[in-house]
Amino acid sequence: MTGDQAVLEVRDVAVVRQGRPLLDEIGVEVRAGEQWALLGPNGAGKSTLLALCGARLHPTRGTVHVLGHRLGRVDMRWLRTHIGHVDPRSRIEPYLSVRDVVLTGLHAAADLPKRWQPTDAASVTADALVGSLGLTARADARWEVLSQGERGRALIARALVTRPDLLLLDEPTTGLDLAAREILLDVLGELRVLRPELATVMVTHHLEELPATTTHALVIAGGRLLASGPVEDALDSDVISRAFGHPIRIDRVNGRWSATSAARVG
């Protein structure tokens, strides 16, 4: 897809469960090559919105188009094969090697099918991703012995093996120490070079976890939209303070954000 095409269109969407709105009047348009941040406190509706983006949930009201297909008028299982999804809570069989973990992305499964063998093209793609994510030396290491940082990079490679047009990242730095987090964020930044046409949506609670290459942001709280658009316009101290219900000052240095309490003490 090109930068003129919408990879994701969410229009006036509501999701209601047991009479309670989880999302209400949400809209966003994501185009090829854009890197979006999806921010908000616990319970804001981020996971629900990401499920819509990932073709895992239908809206109660409104419309959602993913990769040009309207939810409700397309085979959701087929559509999900064209969307990359990175979730550090994903179940992976502990005996799989890094290379095999990447190949499981072709099946969207925790393991490889019995007696299945990858094509030469799939093997080349998997090895190239393992190399580009800095895991060549660990290609044969089993999942159970990998560090959290290595697992995070392997999951990104796994999500990219189908060459998706949309990559969803669900709090990808969960459980990482400082060094592993920074390595992972460097990798996410390098995606702009590896796959310049790839659109990404990254969910996080923490501004410090956003790559410097983030182009756009969407901030929600209580299921409602507070801000959306180019990151320079959408992220400011007032929006973040309202979203998290506390006076917060945000700053940006060398493309990276930080947040501190702006409340008076004493």
* 220-244 pLDDT tens trace: 999 999 999 999 999 999 999 999 9
Q: Which two tokens stand for residue 223?
A: 């299921």
For 41-92, the DSSP string reads -TTSSHHHHHHHHTTS---SEEEEEETTEETTSS-HHHHHTTEEEE-TT---
Mean pLDDT of 142-160: 94
Strands 35-39 and 199-204: parallel
Q: Which residue has the tokens 């290609």?
A: 139
> pLDDT class for 266, splitting at 50, 70, 90?
very low
- Burial class of 126 by CB neighbour count within 10 A (0 to 12, 13 to 18, 19+): buried
Please report the domains of the chain, with CATH numbers, ordered by start residue. 1-82+165-180+191-266 (3.40.50.300), 88-163 (no CATH)
The pTM score is 0.91
> pLDDT class for 248, splitting at 50, 70, 90?
very high
Whole-number pLDDT of residue 4? 63
